[in-house]
Chains A and B, each alone.
Chain A
């Protein structure tokens, strides 16, 4: 055990707090009972049942790192990871979809967008009526995502005009 880590309370350790452990247990139980049985059908149809996002929203598993004032769960980042881990254990596919929504889209909006945008989108994203995604990779821009990006946003008075294509989003 690393003494320095244990003595410095400002640094997180890799041990879960009691609350985090309780969160993991509760989430794990819920995801196994609600989602695990969907795996076969989702694999066959390559489709997401429409009930999944509302259910996640209802139980407070969306907007994990977003403060309650915007409709989120207000959890710390480690707790969000614990929930992602439990969800992926029950259903890898729902885990992937959830992380694209909750981390790539929702958390990015919360961290970087202005208050107007936050108020416009976060409540819906946190209750599951809106589904989020992130668009970075392009047909010609994979490992060189930034350097080879071809999608453009051209300023036109008060607007921007977008042109381009994104793939595997």
Chain B
């Protein structure tokens, strides 16, 4: 007789075979699955209770080979494509959503963006440390007054002063902000040009003009440190600029496309975990003299959750496949823009449905904060807000449809 986890492992193997993952990808997924289950899953309770991030966790992730998935091997990375990076995100998020979130901000938003857009010097300077976990990365885009209108309302400025830029402004809801060593930051270098006056910078957080105004207390993904960051006459050399001046918008927009494809994978991993937990509970919980899994109304929920998980996965993988090999500077418009926004929109809402039903299967116990299903439930809302709200994702899709 096979155990529950053996059955699930067999299922996952079949799924991977269906998507023709390469042997290398399968090995990576197996490795990440094992270490995430053994090392990251047990951290959930304390991270959630205390908004606690374990001090050495990035270094530990570096040692376990979880960082720099898309970085070249000679710089300490794994030399994989973004599809594989998303698979890694999916599996980490399944076993510890908060670590998955911090990992994504570090590995995709900061490191991968830097790889795609940074100069050779910048890449050499920061990427090895980001791959080993010696350095922790973050990305600074959202501001107190600039959310859905991130580009238009951006108020942070970078003023040229001799060989330096002087940055002033604040950023909010920045994942890894309170613990970051380097931040890929967007600021306006020419206010008169609107979105076309934005530039990207790489900021070292030991700069005296940088401070963490506050660490924020979240509903879900607790433990992944989120902060409000303030820049006060923060002076950086011109060499800290990523890409040419006033071309930040293409970095933002192409980065956001990849981010949305990653977020879809995060949703898939978490929805898959919600299914496992719902299934497990339905089989062991007995009422009216039998396991509640024997009741058709519970079976209906399980069937619907499974369908959401696999639909989100199929669509998410399709978007990721389209992202693979996306040329530098591409994205932020056209088919890829539409497809990644749609995959992200679908996955966020699919996870909402899946986790709502899986939590409901748990009855009263699912309402208790210290259950894993409750943590997943509380984490959901971010996935329909971050990386563009569901509404912004719809705007992108509709604009691309109507442009043709």
A52-60, A73-81, A135-143: which lies at the B interface? A135-143
Mark A26-68 against chain B: 1 for CB-CB distance below 8 A, else 0: 0000000000000000000000000000000000000000000
Residues A168 and B287 in contact, CB atoms below 8 Å apart: no
* Minimum CB–CB distance for B145 against chain A, Å: 24
Identify the closest chain B residue to A140 (Cβ): B286
Q: Let me know if A152 is at the binding interface, CB within 8 A.
A: no
Q: Let me know if A22 is at the binding interface, CB within 8 A.
A: no
Q: Let me know if B289 is at the binding interface, CB within 8 A.
A: yes
Docked CA distance A143–B364 (Å): 10
Query: A137 contacts which chain B residues (CB < 8 A)?
Result: 364
Q: Let me know if A167 is at the binding interface, CB within 8 A.
A: yes
Query: A143 contacts which chain B residues (CB < 8 A)?
Result: 287-288, 292, 363
Most B-side CB within 10 Å, residue of A137, A140, A142: A142
Residues B289 and A147 in contact, CB atoms below 8 Å apart: yes
Give the total number of A-B pairs whose CB atoms are below 8 A apart. Answer: 22
Residues B287 and A144 in contact, CB atoms below 8 Å apart: yes
Query: A141 contacts which chain B residues (CB < 8 A)?
Result: 287
Docked CA distance A167–B367 (Å): 12
Identify the closest chain B residue to A145 (Cβ): B287
Please, how many residues of chain A have a CB less than 8 angstroms from a CB on the other chain?
Answer: 10
Mark A125-163 against chain B: 1 for CB-CB distance below 8 A, else 0: 000000000000100111110011000000000000000
Mark B281-309 against chain A: 1 for CB-CB distance below 8 A, else 0: 00000111100100000000000000000
- Give the residue of A142, A144, A147, A148 whose beta carbon is less than 8 angstroms from that of B364: A142
* Minimum CB–CB distance for B291 against chain A, Å: 12
Residues A147 and B288 in contact, CB atoms below 8 Å apart: yes
Identify the closest chain B residue to A142 (Cβ): B363
Query: B292 contacts which chain A residues (CB < 8 A)?
Result: 143
Identify the closest chain B residue to A46 (Cβ): B369
Identify the closest chain A residue to B292 (Cβ): A143
Query: A147 contacts which chain B residues (CB < 8 A)?
Result: 287-289
Docked CA distance A81–B363 (Å): 26
Docked CA distance A140–B292 (Å): 12
Query: B364 contacts which chain A residues (CB < 8 A)?
Result: 137, 142, 167-168
Docked CA distance A38–B5 (Å): 45
Query: B367 contacts which chain A residues (CB < 8 A)?
Result: 168
Docked CA distance A154–B393 (Å): 62
* Minimum CB–CB distance for A133 against chain B, Å: 15
Docked CA distance A137–B363 (Å): 12
Query: B287 contacts which chain A residues (CB < 8 A)?
Result: 141-144, 147-148
Identify the closest chain A residue to B285 (Cβ): A142
> Which B262-292 residues sit within 8 Å CB-CB of chain A?
286-289, 292
Query: B286 contacts which chain A residues (CB < 8 A)?
Result: 140, 148
Query: B289 contacts which chain A residues (CB < 8 A)?
Result: 144, 147
Docked CA distance A30–B120 (Å): 66
Docked CA distance A144–B363 (Å): 12
Docked CA distance A144–B286 (Å): 9
Docked CA distance A76–B367 (Å): 33
Query: A148 contacts which chain B residues (CB < 8 A)?
Result: 286-288
Query: B288 contacts which chain A residues (CB < 8 A)?
Result: 143-144, 147-148
Identify the closest chain B residue to A148 (Cβ): B287
Identify the closest chain B residue to A139 (Cβ): B365
Docked CA distance A143–B295 (Å): 12
Query: A144 contacts which chain B residues (CB < 8 A)?
Result: 287-289
Query: A167 contacts which chain B residues (CB < 8 A)?
Result: 364
Docked CA distance A52–B161 (Å): 59
* Minimum CB–CB distance for A141 against chain B, Å: 8
Docked CA distance A28–B371 (Å): 35
Mark A75-111 against chain B: 1 for CB-CB distance below 8 A, else 0: 0000000000000000000000000000000000000
Identify the closest chain A residue to B288 (Cβ): A144
* Minimum CB–CB distance for B73 against chain A, Å: 48
Given A137-B364, A168-B364, 4 further pairs, Cβ under 8 A: A142-B363, A144-B288, A147-B287, A148-B288
Interface on A for B, CB 8 Å cutoff?
137, 140-144, 147-148, 167-168
The 5 closest A-B pairs by CB, nearest first: A144-B287, A144-B288, A168-B364, A143-B287, A142-B363
The contact sample of 18 A-B pairs, CB cut-off 8 A, is A137-B364, A140-B286, A141-B287, A142-B287, A142-B363, A142-B364, A143-B287, A143-B292, A143-B363, A144-B287, A144-B288, A144-B289, A147-B287, A148-B287, A148-B288, A167-B364, A168-B364, A168-B367
